[in-house]
Structure 1
Amino acid sequence: MFDNFINLWHGFAIAGDPFNILLMVVGILLGVIIGVLPGLGGANGVAILLPLTFSMSPTSAIILLSCIYWGALFGGAITSVLFNIPGEPWSVATTFDGHPMARQGKAGEALTAAFTSSFVGAFVAIIMITLVAPLVAAFALKFGPAEKFAVYFLAFCSFIGMSKEPPTKTIVSMMIGFALAAVGLDMVTGQLRLTFGFEELLNGFDFLIAVIGLFGIGEILLTMEEGLEFRGKAAKIDAKVVLRTWATLPRYWATSIRSCIIGCWMGITPAGATPASFMAYGIAKRVSKNGKNFGNGEIEGVVAPETAAHAAGTSALLPMLALGVPGSPTAAVLLGGLLIWGLQPGPMLFVEQKEFVWGLIASMYLGNVVGLLVVLTTVPLFAAILRIPFSIIAPVILVICAIGAYTVNNNVFDVVMMLVFGIAGYAMKKTGYPLAPLVLAIVLGDSAEEAFRQSLLSSGGSISVFWANPLVSTIMGLGILALVWPLISNAMSRLRVAQPA
């Protein structure tokens, strides 16, 4: 444990480089803009801007992208409070009490509470990553192919069983992702798969092209169709408002602790920030002595979802770094970026790229502080962005997406495929099919297939290899439990209803 603190100290020396500090500020600003604009989001912004980092060192690149993510988490609260428009899905719960506070002339208090709670949630999650990630990584070094596949299996099953989306749609989305991951040359047999005569597909679909299309283009098309009109309250945050709000927040310490626990748990599992924010809000409403006033401008109704959402969004990076399994769509995009830079997330990352890992963890601490300072001082500026007609903003974003897709391989075919994925993402959104399982399957499909086939080769084709020892049996058992959990939950609900009062 002492060695970890020494490594973290060296990480601060890396993250504290003036260039990296500048990247943090730029990343936070870009992230807040992305979070403010409905139709974008953390995963979308990271995916769109990922090509811009190819000329950077991996450490600087991941610092920029992770700070874009922090900024998007902060920015989603701005539109939720001022305009009653959730900039992010996890900001929906913030609108319940944040916007009523703004209508009562308390926009500054609501935003200060949201930003501070976000800071607290992320800070607790970063401490957890600092303490837990090396232990998880050291334990994972004992994993063979069967254990690795069991972890992937648990991740896939958790997305199906714990997602708020219908399990059938989640499975369909995931199967599409597996099919896309299989396109190209089979590295084991050397045969071509699903290329349909297109030479450009010999190496498969580029992960970045798929993500830019699915998230960037798909979300913008959907937002353009909805024709959003931005109307909201003005906000002014000065030192008096900040200090007055900070003086009242300690009385909600129990809500903050509870929301941090909920957020960290939901972030480590693939549930994500959105259900974490709703769960924290619902529990706070049930437990709070002011629960009946929730929905009418109760500051505790802002503290709970914002704390949980940031804790979940940050802790989602733990399984990505320690196990190579992303806990959120944005973590999946960051995982793809690490692979592009030649880094393999997982337990060996802590051994082979120690400076990178601890530099990233240190940057989380610094980036969170920078993010809080930036959003507290620039709220009026970012709120003014929504005064720009969306008919102007949307084409700019589309052009950025096209440039990003082209720069991956300097190939026009990639731009065409980006548009195809964009239309597919739009269609999936319209029909209610989630994109997160598809992204997870694209990113992990090849790795899961490789681990599965290696396991079967070592066992002579027997699937008993996945139950060969207590470790792999436990992980596979948890995966099956997560898969059938909706059935168990429904059965328990029917039993409670059937019981006489």
Structure 2
Amino acid sequence: MEEIGNLMHGFSVALTLPNLMYMLIGITLGVLIGVLPGLGGANGIAILLPLTFSMNPTSAIIMLSCIYWGALFGGAITSILFNIPGEPWSVATTFDGYPMAQQGRAAQALTAAFTSSFVGALFAVILITFLAPLLAKFALKFGPAEFFAVQLLTFCSFVGMSKEPPAKVIAAMMLGFALAAVGLDSVTGTLRMTFGVSELLKGFDFLIAVIGLFGIGEILLTMEEGLSFKGKNAKINPRVVLQTWAGLPRYWLTFLRSTVVGCWMGITPGGATPASFMSYGIARRSSKDPASFGKGQIEGVVAPETAAHAAGTSALLPMLTLGIPGSPTAAVLLGGLLIWGLQPGPMLFVEQKDFVWGLIASMYLGNIVGLLVVLTTVPFWASILRIPFSVIAPVIIVICAIGAYTVHSSMFDVWLMLVFGVVGYLFKKLKYPLAPMVLALVLGDMAEASFRQAMLLSQGSLAIFWSNPLVGSIAGLAIVMLLWPLWGLAKDHYKARERKEGMA
């Protein structure tokens, strides 16, 4: 096949000594960026982009893409060890990864996360290699109505598949939508819920909210319960890594489902964050023991990490073939391509074969190198749990504050982070789920923009969401997910009535 020949040529480009060196540097920097909350892959690449201007485009894109892979890997580290998502898509990993670390299974959780990330990315790269033309045509079918339908499906899946009471999930989600609406309306230019505070013109930044809700909120809760890491005596050794690998094949169906969801959300593009939430919800709903999720279930780490890496990697496909970035990081990489004088699109595969296939080959190599780098550093990261909490807690707070400040270089964001920390603490004390609020906060703006654009196109008619088989099937599935809890209640009521009649 022609693709195989082109890929072999790409490996000959990527496997040069300078490019391998840039690959290793990129992975290492990416892991560090992923670990620091608030920085993120897109911000890290944007900061380091000027360093690549003197390099040839192929070496530059290999280094920047490896920073991306490293950030994807690194985001799981603080999520699992400290319940602080280093990246937005790592939020779902905290649900079971952090309880595993508290139970002394930090190495198992980290190994599962890194391996799942590798598997998701590998399948996404294979998809890019062989199905680029076909999937590029499919992505062109997505308009505002289709984007809103995908986002609606994500929200409804969370209501339908959550183990929390639907009323609490919807209440948390509504608060997230309200927070997402704060700021300047991009369509009408009017101010919404700023209450005269000029700093709220830009709204609430998702990263600041996540750092506060999860990082500061968890520290407040731990301070109340006692200054200690429950997993500080976890034993870390290579045998744990091998034992974890031996147990992962039993979750092959979870890997497959999460890869499909991730690739679909990356190409359309829905994004890595909703992909991770959706895959977690599907895994919990499909599990034989859904009650164990949220208490340290390894499948709850496998599902979101596989989907997030699959989505993050496949998001590069529409960028290369159509010039449409599928994620914020892909948008930064697109800017780099334009600066280097390269125009993304179908002709890029014809005019710049060395560049395109060198990049695709580096995706294979970069993920292998990334997996080796993070696995060999598992003992180092897990050993952090042995440091007394009274020592590490102030360090975490300082890192969180630095992360919040660097988002917009504003002290107001640091204060906002602390406010969100108190909100996170109250949510946990009142047993309200944080994830629906976070999901609504990150996708609220996008969903609103897509909905309003769809309404403008249809002149206010909701029929646009059933105007073609693609959008109709997605919207229909969303409604099924929303009403799923009612089906569960009806089934439970019917069983209870049968038991009552049987006793009579």
The aligned counterpart of 2:95 is: 89
Question: Within 5 A, what are the aligned runs for 1:297-336?
Answer: 310-315=305-310, 317=312, 335=327
Which stretch has the larger CA shift, 375-384 or 274-283?
274-283
Whether 2:180 is the aligned partner of 1:174: answer no
Task: Supply the distance in 2 between the matched residues of 1:65 and 1:157 (Cα, whole angstroms).
Answer: 30
CA deviation map 1:276-330 (0-9, x unaligned)? 776898579xxxxxxxxxxxxxxxx998776556434533547866799xxxxxx
Aligned to 1:125: 120
Alignment of 1:87-486 (within 5 A): 88-91=94-97, 121-132=116-127, 134=132, 135-226=134-225, 227-230=227-230, 231-237=232-238, 249=246, 255-264=250-259, 271=277, 282=288, 310-315=305-310, 317=312, 335=327, 365-374=364-373, 376-486=375-485
Whether the 8 Å contact between 2:124 and 2:314 is mirrored in structure 1 is no
The structure 2 residue matched to 1:23, chosen from 23, 26, 31, is: 26
Query: Could you tell me which residue of structure 2 aligns to residue 39 of structure 1?
Result: none
Deviations 1:215-236 (A, max 9, x none): 3322333333333245425444
Give the whole-Å Cα distance in 1 for the aligned partners of 2:256 and 2:459. Answer: 44
State the alpha-carbon separation in 2 of the partners of residues 357 and 495 from structure 1. 58
Distance 1:52 1:243 in 2: 29
Shift of 1:476: 1.0
Tell me how far apart the structure 1 counterparts of residues 488 and 374 of structure 2 sit (CA, whole Å): 41
Q: Which amino acid aligns with 1:431?
A: L
Kindly indicate whether the alpha-carbon contact (under 8 Å) linking 2:144 and 2:451 is maintained by their aligned counterparts in 1. yes
Q: What is the CA-CA distance between 1:196 and the residue it aligns to? A: 0.5
Secondary structure of the residue aligned to 2:433 is coil
Q: Say whether residues 1:64 and 2:98 are aligned partners.
A: no
TM-score (norm 1): 0.69
Q: Distance in 2 between matches of 1:152 and 1:357?
A: 31
Contact persistence 1:20–1:63 (CA under 8 A):
yes
TM-score between both structures, scaled by the size of structure 2 = 0.69
Deviation at 1:194, TM superposition (A): 0.9
Question: Which segments of 5 or more consecutive residues in structure 1 lack a partner in the other structure?
Answer: 35-43, 80-86, 103-109, 285-300, 325-333
Root-mean-square deviation (CA, aligned residues, Å) is 4.9
Identity, in percent, stands at 43
Give the secondary-structure state (helix, strand or coil) at the position aligned to 2:233. coil
Q: 1:351 to 1:402 in 2, by over 3 A?
A: farther
- The CA deviation at 1:483 is 0.9
Residues 26 and 221 (structure 1 numbering): CA distance in 2 closer, same or farther, change over 3 Å?
Answer: farther
Aligned to 1:331: none
Give aligned pairs, total. Answer: 442
Assess if the C-alpha contact under 8 Å between 2:125 and 2:364 holds in 1: no
Alignment of 1:1-20 (within 5 A): 6=6, 13=14, 16=19, 18-20=21-23
Look up the SS of the partner of 2:423 in the other structure: helix
Where structure 2 has 5 or more consecutive residues not aligned to the other structure, the ranges are 51-60, 83-92, 266-274, 291-295, 320-325, 336-342
- The CA deviation at 1:477 is 0.5
Whole-angstrom CA distance in 1 between matches of 2:348 and 2:198: 35
The amino acid across from 1:232 in the alignment is: N
- Distance in 2 (CA, whole Å) between partners of 1:427 and 1:93 is 19
How far off is 1:166 after superposition?
2.6
2:219–2:393 CA contact under 8 A, matched in 1: yes
Deviations 1:182-202, CA, capped at 9 Å, x for gaps: 222222222111111112222
123-132 or 264-273, which moves further after superposition? Answer: 264-273
Task: Confirm or deny: 8 A CA contact 2:176 2:444 kept in the other structure.
Answer: yes
What code does the residue aligned with 2:455 have?
L
1:54-99: per-residue Cα shift (whole Å, max 9, x none)? 41239666643542442454788899xxxxxxx9433479689x96
The offset of 1:125, in angstroms, is 2.1
Q: How does 1:485-496 map to 2 (within 5 A)?
A: 485-496=484-495
Query: Residues 92, 144 of structure 1: CA spacing in aligned structure 2 closer, same or farther, 3 A cutoff?
Result: closer
**Local SS of the residue matching 2:432:** coil
Please say if residues 73 and 114 of structure 2, whose CA atoms lie closer than 8 Å, have aligned partners that are also in contact. no
Query: Matches of 1:486 and 1:379 in 2, distance apart?
Result: 40
**8 Å Cα contact 2:257-2:279 kept in structure 1:** no
Q: Which amino acid aligns with 1:165?
A: E
